[in-house]
Structure 1
Amino acid sequence: MAKGKILENLREEEESNSTATPAEQDDRGSFDKSKLAAEVSTPFRTLRLFIYGAFATSALIGGLTACTQLAASVANQLDALPLSQCLLNVGVDFGVVAVCVYAYNFENKQRQGLVEQKRAEREQAALRKQSVIPEEVTKSRVERLRELQIRLTVSESETKNVPLGVLMQEAQHGLVLWHLEAKQDVVLVAGGKEMLRDAMLRATVNREIFTANNLLIVPVQVADPSDPTAAVTDKGFGAKPAYFKQGFVGEPAEEDEWRALVAEEIRDADRQGNSKAAKQGVVLVVSRDGKVLRRGLGMPKWDMIRQDLYPNAKVDDMGRRLVE
């Protein structure tokens, strides 16, 4: 009976720890892993704290002794030290105490801040581990991405909506458009108006990376929580931004469908602890064979994206992939 009760208690404790946060597990454990990580990152901080404490204790004892000497000097006792010397000793001893206490408190606050940082990092890592996007969800989302429409300009007065998946495959359907001359990798950039403008400005400066590497950028504007006046309506973008005139930029048709896909990416980021995903923007890099190579937040780093897509490719000084 006793053995069965012990095993039952152990199972309950294991289940409780499995659902607890890292901070709660640290409180329940025999030692705080976050504190251990902080000590490893700053191994001499404990030594400094010990030195400050030792010096403060020694100076405090010296200061108390100097106070007795000062009292003797004020009372004009025989063999008492001069008053000036006693005052100097008291000032030096208690000055050292004050400096050591300040240094100790400063170091201790730094240590506590580092412990909290390590604990937050552990919680974020645990949250990301628990919120890993299943492979089936990723594949389903890529298939949806392939079905979304891109608006292509056939002539000055005619446009044509084409599924993105067509642009990621070989030329077909007899369409003679530069988009369909070769397979294309896709970079989906979603964010507020200002974020998209800055991202596409950087892309335009580095246009050689895209035109020479068959990269297609699809910018999708979503509502920016920090700027309510820039909310997106059902009518879409309104006046078309100038960056859609670039040959490596694909204009999304049926924008609501694109935003629905982006909203799922933002929710996944929220579940992983990135609460500012909607404000920072989302970047999704998908290769032409349907593999998600990068999920990121914030401003896209175009050089890193090119390296993700072509890790072993040779490039020239302009970042263009050299075809052997």
Structure 2
Amino acid sequence: MVTSARMTAKEELQRLEDERVNMRAEAEAPFRTLRLVIFGFSVASAGVGTLISLPQLAGALNGGRNAMQVDDVLTNLAINIGAVTIFAFLFRQDWKAREKQLVRLGRESALASQRVLLANGKRRTLRDLQGTSRCVLLAGTPSQVAASLAAAEPYREQLLQRGVFIVPVPIFDEPASSSGSGGDEQQGQQQQAAATIPPLERGDLRWRGEAQQLQGYKQWFQDQLSFSSSKVTSDTGLYVGLRLDGRVRASGMGGAPWARMVAELAPLEGESKWAGMLDGFDGDSAPR
């Protein structure tokens, strides 16, 4: 009974997550469902018209009584076949776009559920930080993450004004032993990270946090990389920048482009807040 209850709770959480993803998909493309209905109905209507035209064509060719002219039947048949082809193509393209959108939103939702430790000792999910923080995840070896974190220090005040919140994620260069348990593996990663990444201080509350349950982050990054031909090696790191609404706005290999983020992101506080016409729109900060 306990196992059944747990499964039921898990299924309920998954259902709520699926509903959240579908609502976000509908918000991003509010007319897609309507387009799919129109395209699908048009395909069905033109298909019926094609089926009706076939016996009409047979009657016209045989010179049947009250039969339509062959040219008229051929014209109708061509129009219906063309309509089926065009609307079927449009339906297929929109459906494929919808599937890609749901996959992307599903990945973003999975990332939003990852947990982070704040400087005040509280644990929050990345979803809890949406609306107030532009999270930037730094993944790689502990030394790579520490180097990227140190590179952000000269821009600290400017990044804070823009709501940038850094989450170091040291998930690579795992212990050489492959026979250890998952818990020992995660503990080894955290111990290795502690040797190079500075511990959280009270003043880091709005600046950075500490990734919790690294295995979940690692699985997400591995899934993310499976959609790309790029491969992370011991010589490369990875960064992922999120928008205020939690969507992935930029990602790339190596360290995060802090100077570019300062130049492109609109401040959330200070005298220059909302100074430009397009302020508030998170732009691409990927290196070019």
TM-score (norm 1): 0.44
- Structure with larger Rg: 1
